Chain A
Amino acid sequence: MIVADDSVLLREGVTRLLENAGHEVVGQAADREELMRKARAHKPDVAIIDIRMPPTHTDEGLQAARTIRKELPGTGVVVLSAYIEEAYALELLGENPAGVGYLLKDRVWDGDRFAEAVQRVAEGGSALDPEVVSHILGRRRVPEPLQELTPRERDVLGLMAEGRSNQAIADALVISGRAVEKHVASIFTKLHLPPAPEDHRRVLAVLAFLRS
């Protein structure tokens, strides 16, 4: 994988954390140009990108992530941001959340959980920061397509959006795997998702969730 951040301190720190977790970091980049050059050269499984990089320090990382997803289908992107902006999350995951992650920067402290999220994205899954999920779920007015869902189903959908597997959801909610499967099936029905392979429907459910 590649780590891109304009701060050496953070690049090194994230690299060491990932290496400790058993990942191989093939390159570091300080700005968008370097990131694109190294991504094209190494075609890594995943690129971990700080959203703010030179020269304008606004959303260079986001643009780079979109370019990588378009050019290198085999490379997942995890965008790190100091603040959570739903608009950024939607822009990044909106078209297709497969192979995309959007996490708050301090998640890197969680060590194993962070490494897992990176792993998931590398394998073509997604990772949405729980903060974004709780933001959307925490709105006073529950948005239209989600009104049909029971509170429990909403919890399950939120965890799905974070990128968790059925087993992980079962563990998090302390219910059986069977119960999770039932909830998931019910969510698909209520959101009118057409029959399709399970993975694809999960992605569609997450999209519905994001766009709500």
Chain B
Amino acid sequence: MRGLRRIQVGIAVAAVGLGVGVLLAVAGGQHNIHRGAYAALALGIGWGFTGTGLYAWRRWPASNIGPLMIAVGFAGLVKTLAFSNDSVIFTIGSLGEVLIYALLIHLLLSFPSGQLDSRVDRILVFIAYVNTIAVQFAAFVFTDPTAQGCSQCPANPLLIDHADGAAGVIGAAQLDIAVAVLGAVVAILYRRWRDSIPSQRRAFAPVLAVGSLTFLLLMSSLIVEQAGLPAGIDDGLTLALFGSLACLPFAFMVGLVRSRFSQAEAVSSLVARLGGGGGRGALRDALAEALGDPSVELAYWVPSQDAYVDADGQPMRVDPAPKGKIATAIEHEGRRVAAIVHDAGLAEEGDLVHAVGAAAALTLENERLDAELRAHVEQLRASRARIVTAGYAERRRLERDLHDGAQQRLMALGINLRMARNQVESDAQQAAALIDASLEELKKATAELRELARGIHPAALDGGLAAALGGLAGRSPVPVDLVEAPHERLPAPVESAVYFVVAEALTNVARYARANTASVTVARNNDHVHVQISDDGIGGADPARGSGLRGLSDRVAALDGRLELTSADGDGTTVRARIPCG
């Protein structure tokens, strides 16, 4: 920073020095009748731009605007050296005479961000530099000013040959190019003003207005020069142009001050409005007004869901922000509270957004709590609906299983017994065979009923989680390492949820994972149970695919817990659940 400071002081000194030089040069020159006025205006332009440029540079050190303004200032001083009677100084001034306009085009097109955002902008600026440096040089080497009726002008040391025709052709081309470029620039500036949001407009209007006026005057004077109208008009236009140029740095100043002032005003009126309360949406409206962006949206941070939601608690996409929008995160006491989703045009006013956000942070935090509550309610409502639906489907499945399984077997058993009864006297051997077959059916029916009952409530759980999980691990077709299981009793709903999470996860391992081994860890940490089931299979499980995981997730969520699935392709699958059991 200190180095930069030194450079800026150096620039200020150089500008003053060059300004004094300009005064001397003009005073010594005799080839312009308005030289007094020109000298005064040149100092206004040169020092004005340099001064405001230094101010802008210090305020926005990262932006090119400050340095560009300083360059314009110096170009304005250099230009005036053409009034000198000294041949070398005259030549420097003449070569640099129109560079200031290219720099101005660069400055205005890159205002306020300091960057040339579009391809068209970059092309225009490039043409302007070529036209004011290379073409200017080409024209100058064919021009002998003394031969052009300026008898008091000094000699041109770069003169190759005075060729009126060549100089004329090049000069005319230069003028045509300049007029075309200036027309395009004015059109772009107008469109930019029209498309800007109100808060930008307030700050940029003076700059864009005076800038456009300058360019229009420049265009007119070029056209007049080309048309060869009387010198009086030409001189008048040139004086007006210089006057407008001299005003330009102050327009920048006004814009800067105004944007700072409007920022302070916006924040203070926002604070006043926030004190006034108001219903839902009042905060959004207040922020929209303070930022001058009616499209502002608020996204509240819900840490437990690791996501943003809107005021109704519905999930909201913030990162990446919608097209043409930018989300600025707002913190309160070091914690993320919300994000203000605003027009991308406000990006240059990051300070304003942050200042407004900071002023509203406490209110945002309050509304955030509201939104978080709504998000929870919304989540509960959805999961409750899913639980009811799942419960219905589950009952239907049980009924179907009962009907297709045990009930059919019992029916067949009854028929066998009936036939055995019919034959017990006539054919005792056949009857005995039928009774054997009946016993076989009975065994199968009992086994099916047992499986069904386990699906409803695993009896093994009555002996504690460790024993029940041991049973699950033992029945799994994939070898399971039961690393850890709590031996103390947990609340029944928690034990049941843990059991079904492990059971479903192991079923999935057996069905889809193509794993060699799996491991199960259930550990109690303070007031939470942590469940983890990992396998070494193919991974790539999609949580959206099966209803099984979803059902589990709801089951766990019903106990205020969370379920996560990690399953990268080729890297096995891990299901983790965390359930409070305080």
CB within 8 Å of B: which A84-127 residues: 105-106, 108-111
- In this complex, what residue of A is CB-closest to B421? A111
Q: Which of A10-18, A66-74, A183-191 contacts B (4 or more CB under 8 A)?
A: A10-18
Q: Are B415 and A109 in contact (CB under 8 A)?
A: yes
Q: Are B403 and A9 in contact (CB under 8 A)?
A: no
Closest chain B CB from A15 CB (angstroms): 10
Chain B: interface residue count, which band? Answer: 10 to 19
Q: Which of B259-267, B379-387, B406-414 contacts A (4 or more CB under 8 A)?
A: B406-414
- Does B422 interact with chain A (Cβ within 8 Å)? yes
Bound together, the chains give a CA A109 to CA B417 distance in angstroms of 8
Bound together, the chains give a CA A111 to CA B419 distance in angstroms of 8
Q: Are A105 and B419 in contact (CB under 8 A)?
A: no
Q: Are B418 and A111 in contact (CB under 8 A)?
A: yes
Closest chain A CB from B441 CB (angstroms): 8
A109-B408 contact, Cβ under 8 Å, with A57-B400, A82-B403: no
Closest chain A CB from B152 CB (angstroms): 109
Q: Could you say which residues of chain A place their CB within 8 Å of the CB of B221? A: none
- Does B143 interact with chain A (Cβ within 8 Å)? no
A9-B408 contact, Cβ under 8 Å, with A16-B419, A17-B419, A57-B400: yes
Interface string of B527-546 (1 = CB under 8 A from A): 00000000000000000000
- Does B416 interact with chain A (Cβ within 8 Å)? yes
- Does A63 interact with chain B (Cβ within 8 Å)? no
Residue from A14, A16, A52, A111 within 8 A of B403 (CB atoms): A52
Q: Are A10 and B408 in contact (CB under 8 A)?
A: yes
Residue from B400, B409, B419 within 8 A of A9 (CB atoms): B409
Bound together, the chains give a CA A20 to CA B427 distance in angstroms of 13
- In this complex, what residue of B is CB-closest to A112? B422
Bound together, the chains give a CA A111 to CA B423 distance in angstroms of 12
Q: Could you say which residues of chain A place their CB within 8 Å of the CB of B412? A: 7, 9-10, 13
Closest chain A CB from B577 CB (angstroms): 35
Bound together, the chains give a CA A176 to CA B140 distance in angstroms of 142
Q: Could you say which residues of chain A place their CB within 8 Å of the CB of B411? A: 7, 9-10, 13, 105-106, 108
Q: Are B409 and A109 in contact (CB under 8 A)?
A: no
Bound together, the chains give a CA A2 to CA B417 distance in angstroms of 23
Bound together, the chains give a CA A110 to CA B415 distance in angstroms of 9
Bound together, the chains give a CA A7 to CA B400 distance in angstroms of 13
Q: Are B408 and A17 in contact (CB under 8 A)?
A: no
Q: Could you say which residues of chain A place their CB within 8 Å of the CB of B422? A: 20, 111
Closest chain B CB from A154 CB (angstroms): 31
- In this complex, what residue of B is CB-closest to A57? B400
Closest chain A CB from B418 CB (angstroms): 5
Bound together, the chains give a CA A14 to CA B400 distance in angstroms of 21
Q: Could you say which residues of chain A place their CB within 8 Å of the CB of B418? A: 17, 108-111
Closest chain B CB from A124 CB (angstroms): 27
Q: Could you say which residues of chain B place their CB within 8 Å of the CB of A82? A: 403, 407
Q: Could you say which residues of chain B place their CB within 8 Å of the CB of A110? A: 418
Bound together, the chains give a CA A184 to CA B422 distance in angstroms of 35
Bound together, the chains give a CA A20 to CA B431 distance in angstroms of 14
Q: Could you say which residues of chain B place their CB within 8 Å of the CB of A20? A: 419, 422
Closest chain A CB from B415 CB (angstroms): 3
Bound together, the chains give a CA A52 to CA B403 distance in angstroms of 10
Given A7-B408, A10-B412, A13-B411, 13 more A-B residue pairs with CB atoms under 8 Å apart are A9-B408, A9-B411, A10-B408, A13-B415, A16-B415, A17-B418, A20-B419, A52-B403, A82-B403, A108-B411, A109-B414, A111-B419, A111-B422
Which A residues form the contact surface with B (CB < 8 A)?
7, 9-10, 13-14, 16-17, 20, 52, 57, 82, 105-106, 108-111
A-B contact list, 21 entries, CB within 8 Å: A7-B404, A7-B408, A7-B411, A7-B412, A9-B408, A9-B409, A9-B411, A10-B408, A10-B412, A13-B416, A17-B415, A17-B418, A17-B419, A82-B403, A106-B411, A106-B414, A108-B414, A108-B415, A109-B414, A109-B417, A111-B418
